[in-house]
A = this chain, B = another copy of it.
Amino acid sequence: MNQTKDISTEQLILETAEKLFLEKGFAMTSTTEIARVSGCNQALVHYYFRTKENLFQSIFENKFRMLISTLPIDNQSNKPFEEQLASIVEAHFELIRSNPKLPFLIFNELITNPQRLKTLKQRLGELPRPMFLQLQRQLQEEIDEGRIRQTNILDLLLTMLSLNVMIFLGTPIIQNVMQLSDNEINELYEHRKKENVMIILRSLRP
C-alpha cells in the first residue's frame, strides 16, 4: 500500500470537489466532472467516498470544523470591551474573507436540502461554548454598568454576520456591475471591515 499515493489521490479528489462545490454548488457538480478535473477515473470518486452525498458531507464537516477552530478566542485580555469586540468583528471578517464562497455554499445547501440542517445542528453543538458564554457575560457586564445599551448577544451576532457575510456574498455581483479590479475589491473589503466595526460599536452605545 503506497501511503503517499493513497492520501494524495483521496486528498486530490477532496480538494477538487471542494473547489467545484464552492464554485457551482452541489447539484451543478457531477462526480464525473470531479474525476475529470482531478485527472482520475470516475469510479475512484465512488471508491473513496461511495456516494456523492458522502463526499459532500466530508467536505462540509471539514470546512465547518475549520471555521470553528479558527474562531477568535483571545478574549481573556484586559483590553476595554469595545476594543475586544472590534478585534472579534475584524477576525470574523477575515475568517470569511479567507473562505469567501463558503457562506454561499452553506446557505445553498442548507436551504435546498433541509435534512442537512440536522448535521449543522450537531456541528453547532461543537462550537466553543466557553467563548460564547464569556462574550455574553462581558456584554451583560457592560450593560449593567451602563456602558452599552440594553441588548442581547443574538442581535449582536446576527448584525455581525449580516454585515460581514453580505459583502462577500455580493462580491460577484458588485465586482461585475461596478467593474472593479481585484485591487479595488480588496480596497472595498478593507473599507467595509472598518465600516462594519464602526457600525456595530455605534449600534451598542447607550
Contacts and interface: CB of A to CB of B under 8 A. Distances in A.
A155 interface: yes
A37 interface: no
Tell me the dominant secondary structure on chain A's binding face. Answer: helix
A23 B195 CA distance: 34
A203 interface: yes
Contacts of A176: 114, 117, 121
Contacts of A28: 27, 112
Interface stretch (A45-53, A89-97, A160-168): A160-168
B104 A172 contact: no
Contacts of A147: none
Contact of A166 (B24, B158, B202, B205): B158
A130 interface: no
Interface string A93-114: 0000000010010011011101
A159 B163 contact: yes
Contacts of A158: 166-167, 170, 192
Contacts of A191: 155
A66 to B, nearest CB: 19
A155 B120 CA distance: 32
A169 interface: yes
Contacts of A192: 155, 158
16 contacts: A23-B112, A25-B25, A101-B111, A104-B108, A107-B170, A117-B176, A117-B177, A155-B191, A158-B167, A158-B192, A159-B163, A162-B166, A165-B166, A199-B199, A202-B202, A202-B205
A-B pairs with lowest CB-CB distance, top 9? A162-B166, A27-B27, A199-B203, A202-B202, A162-B162, A117-B176, A27-B28, A24-B112, A162-B163
